[in-house]
Chains A and B, each alone.
Chain A
Amino acid sequence: MKIMKIMKTRNRWQTPYLAALVAAFGLVAVFSIAASAQQSEEILIRNATILTASHGTIENGSILIRNGRIAAVGKAAEVKGSAGTKVIDATGMFVTPGFVDSHSHTALDSINEGSLSVTAMVRMRDVINDTDINIYRQLAGGMTTIHQLHGSANAIGGQNSIIKLKWGRPVEEMIVSDAPRTIKFALGENPKRSNANFPGVARRFPATRMGVEETIREAFTQGREYMQAWDNYEAARKRGENPLPPRRDLKLEAMADVLRGKIDIHSHCYRADEIVMLLRLCEEFGIRVHTLQHVLEGYKVAPEIARHGASASILPDWWAYKMEAYDAIPFNAAVMTRRGIVVSIHSDSNEHARRFYQEAAKMMKYGDLTEEEALRLVTLNPAVQLRLDKRIGSIDIGKDADLVIFNGHPFSVYSRPEMTMIEGTIYFDRKQDLASREKLAKEKKDLIEREKKAPTQAQPTQPGRPPVPTLSEDDLDGHLHGYPRQNQKQ
Chain B
Amino acid sequence: MRNSKFQLTAGLAIAAVILGLKLAAIQPAAARAFDGEAYAIVNARIVTVTGSTIPKGALVIRNGLIEAVGADISVPGDARLIDASGLTIYPGLFDAYTNLGLRPAPTPAGPAAADPTQAFLAQLAAPPSSTGLLPEVTVLDQMQVNATTFDQQRAAGITTVLTGPRNGIYQGQSAVINLGGESPEKLILKAPFSQNIGFNAVRGSYPGSLMGVFSFLRQSLLDARHYREAWTRYRQSPRGNQRPEVNKSMDALQPVINGEMPVIFNVSSVREIKRAVTLAEEFNLKYLLSGAQQSYQIADYLKSKNATVLLSLSFPQKPAGLEDPESESLNTLRERAKAPETAMILHKAGVRFAFTSGNLVRPGDYIVNAARAIEAGLPKDEALRALTINAARILGVSEQLGSIEKGKVANLVLTTGDLFDRNSRVRHVFVDGRKFDIKAPEAPQGRNGPGGPNGTGGTGSGRGPGAAAAPSATATMLAAGTWMLTVQTPADEVTSTLTLTQDGESLNGEVSTPFGNARITEGRIRGSEVMLNYSLSVQGQTMPVSMRGRIEGNSIRGTMEAMGQNFNFTGAKRPNQ
Residue positions of A touching B, CB distance < 8 A: 26-28, 30-31, 109-119, 121-124, 126-131, 150, 158, 170-172, 198-207, 215, 218-219, 222, 244-245, 247-251, 440, 443-444, 447-448, 450-451, 456-472, 474-475, 484-485, 487, 490
Which of these, B494, B514, B539, contacts A472 with CB under 8 Å?
A: B539
CB–CB B201/A468 < 8 A: yes
Pull 18 A–B residue pairs with CB atoms less than 8 Å apart, ordered by A: A26-B337, A31-B298, A117-B123, A126-B214, A158-B211, A200-B491, A201-B203, A202-B492, A204-B119, A247-B223, A458-B451, A460-B454, A461-B360, A462-B359, A462-B454, A463-B544, A468-B209, A487-B542
CB–CB A26/B334 < 8 A: yes
Within B121-142, which residues are at the interface with A (CB < 8 Å)? 123-124, 127-128
Q: How far is the CA of A117 from the CA of B314 in the complex (A)?
A: 40
Chain A minimum-CB-distance residue to B454: A460
Q: How far is the CA of A363 from the CA of B79 in the complex (A)?
A: 92
CB–CB A117/B215 < 8 A: no
Q: How far is the CA of A450 from the CA of B339 in the complex (A)?
A: 14
Which of these, A116, A127, A130, A459, contacts B211 with CB under 8 Å?
A: A127
Complex interface bits, B324-347 against A, C-beta within 8 A gives 1, otherwise 0: 011001111111111000000000
Which of these, A113, A172, A249, A467, contacts B208 with CB under 8 Å?
A: A113
Q: Which residues of A contact B268 (CB under 8 A)?
A: 464-465
Among A109, A200, A443, A484, find the residue whose CB has the most chain B CB atoms closer than 10 A: A200
CB–CB B336/A201 < 8 A: no
Q: How far is the CA of A470 from the CA of B120 in the complex (A)?
A: 22
**With contacts A200-B492, A463-B533 known, is A205 near B119, CB below 8 A?**
yes
CB–CB B200/A468 < 8 A: yes
Which of these, A111, A458, A463, contacts B465 with CB under 8 Å?
A: A458
Question: Between A and B, how many residue pairs show CB distances below 8 Å?
Answer: 259
Q: Which residues of B contact A158 (CB under 8 A)?
A: 211, 215
CB–CB A469/B539 < 8 A: yes
CB–CB B203/A459 < 8 A: no
**With contacts A248-B222, A463-B533, A475-B539 known, is A456 near B210, CB below 8 A?**
no
CB–CB A113/B330 < 8 A: no
A121 to chain B, nearest CB (A): 4
Within B281-304, which residues are at the interface with A (CB < 8 Å)? 294, 296-298
Interface of B is mostly: mixed
A122 to chain B, nearest CB (A): 4
**With contacts A30-B297, A118-B124, A466-B562 known, is A199 near B494, CB below 8 A?**
yes
Q: How far is the CA of A67 from the CA of B563 in the complex (A)?
A: 46
CB–CB B209/A471 < 8 A: yes
Chain A minimum-CB-distance residue to B110: A202
Within B527-546, which residues are at the interface with A (CB < 8 Å)? 533, 538-544, 546
Q: A115-B202, A123-B214, A461-B317 are in contact. List 12 more A-B contacts (CB 8 A).
A: A31-B297, A113-B215, A115-B207, A115-B212, A117-B123, A121-B219, A129-B271, A204-B119, A458-B449, A458-B450, A459-B369, A459-B465
Q: Which residues of A contact B333 (CB under 8 A)?
A: 444, 447-448, 451
Q: Which of B8-16, B32-40, B225-233, B407-415 contacts A (4 or more CB under 8 A)?
A: B225-233
Which of these, B212, B335, B450, B494, contacts A27 with CB under 8 Å?
A: B335
Which of these, A202, A461, A466, A470, contacts B491 with CB under 8 Å?
A: A202
Which of these, A218, A244, A468, A472, contacts B540 with CB under 8 Å?
A: A472
Among B211, B317, B326, B359, find the residue whose CB has the most chain A CB atoms closer than 10 A: B211
CB–CB B314/A222 < 8 A: no
CB–CB B337/A450 < 8 A: yes
Q: How far is the CA of A210 from the CA of B296 in the complex (A)?
A: 53
CB–CB A205/B120 < 8 A: yes
B355 to chain A, nearest CB (A): 14
**With contacts A459-B317, A462-B361 known, is A204 near B209, CB below 8 A?**
no
Which of these, B206, B331, B452, contacts A460 with CB under 8 Å?
A: B452
Question: Nearest 10 A-B pairs (CB), nearest first?
Answer: A205-B120, A115-B208, A460-B454, A126-B214, A110-B209, A458-B450, A447-B333, A113-B212, A199-B514, A110-B210
A256 to chain B, nearest CB (A): 14
CB–CB A113/B206 < 8 A: yes
Chain A minimum-CB-distance residue to B492: A200
Q: How far is the CA of A462 from the CA of B544 in the complex (A)?
A: 11
**With contacts A114-B209, A171-B274, A202-B492 known, is A443 near B330, CB below 8 A?**
yes
Q: Which residues of B contact A466 (CB under 8 A)?
A: 543-544, 562-564
Q: How far is the CA of A444 from the CA of B326 in the complex (A)?
A: 8
CB–CB B543/A467 < 8 A: yes
Q: How far is the CA of A200 from the CA of B369 in the complex (A)?
A: 40
Q: Which residues of A contact B326 (CB under 8 A)?
A: 444, 448
CB–CB B546/A463 < 8 A: yes
Q: Which residues of A contact B226 (CB under 8 A)?
A: 245, 247-248
Q: How far is the CA of A177 from the CA of B222 in the complex (A)?
A: 24
Q: Which residues of A contact B128 (CB under 8 A)?
A: 121, 251
A222 to chain B, nearest CB (A): 6
Q: Which residues of B contact A110 (CB under 8 A)?
A: 201, 209-212
Q: How far is the CA of A207 from the CA of B120 in the complex (A)?
A: 11
Q: Which residues of B contact A460 (CB under 8 A)?
A: 317, 360-362, 365, 452-455
Q: Which residues of B contact A199 (CB under 8 A)?
A: 492, 494, 514-515
Q: How far is the CA of A7 from the CA of B569 in the complex (A)?
A: 66
CB–CB B318/A458 < 8 A: yes
Q: Which residues of B contact A249 (CB under 8 A)?
A: 127, 219
**With contacts A27-B335, A218-B124 known, is A115 near B204, CB below 8 A?**
yes
Q: Which residues of B contact A465 (CB under 8 A)?
A: 198, 200, 266, 268, 564
Q: How far is the CA of A204 from the CA of B358 in the complex (A)?
A: 39
Among B207, B241, B296, find the residue whose CB has the most chain A CB atoms closer than 10 A: B207
CB–CB B211/A467 < 8 A: no
CB–CB A112/B209 < 8 A: yes
Q: Which residues of A contact B222 (CB under 8 A)?
A: 247-248, 250
B519 at the interface (CB under 8 A from A): no
Q: Which residues of B contact A171 (CB under 8 A)?
A: 271, 274
Chain A minimum-CB-distance residue to B241: A244
B460 to chain A, nearest CB (A): 13
Q: Which residues of A contact B297 (CB under 8 A)?
A: 27-28, 30-31
CB–CB A126/B564 < 8 A: no
B448 at the interface (CB under 8 A from A): yes
Chain B minimum-CB-distance residue to A26: B334
CB–CB B515/A456 < 8 A: no
CB–CB B120/A117 < 8 A: yes
Complex interface bits, B435-463 against A, C-beta within 8 A gives 1, otherwise 0: 00000000000001111111110000000
Q: Which residues of B contact A109 (CB under 8 A)?
A: 210-211, 271
Which of these, A30, A170, A205, A469, contacts B117 with CB under 8 Å?
A: A205
Q: How far is the CA of A137 from the CA of B297 in the complex (A)?
A: 23
**With contacts A117-B123, A122-B211, A471-B539 known, is A459 near B368, CB below 8 A?**
yes
Q: Which residues of A contact B455 (CB under 8 A)?
A: 460
Q: How far is the CA of A130 from the CA of B564 in the complex (A)?
A: 24
Q: How far is the CA of A213 from the CA of B285 in the complex (A)?
A: 40
Which of these, A251, A444, A470, contacts B210 with CB under 8 Å?
A: A470
Q: How far is the CA of A128 from the CA of B203 in the complex (A)?
A: 21
Chain A minimum-CB-distance residue to B297: A27
Q: How far is the CA of A464 from the CA of B317 in the complex (A)?
A: 11
CB–CB A461/B123 < 8 A: no
Q: How far is the CA of A305 from the CA of B99 in the complex (A)?
A: 57
CB–CB B452/A458 < 8 A: yes
B38 to chain A, nearest CB (A): 39
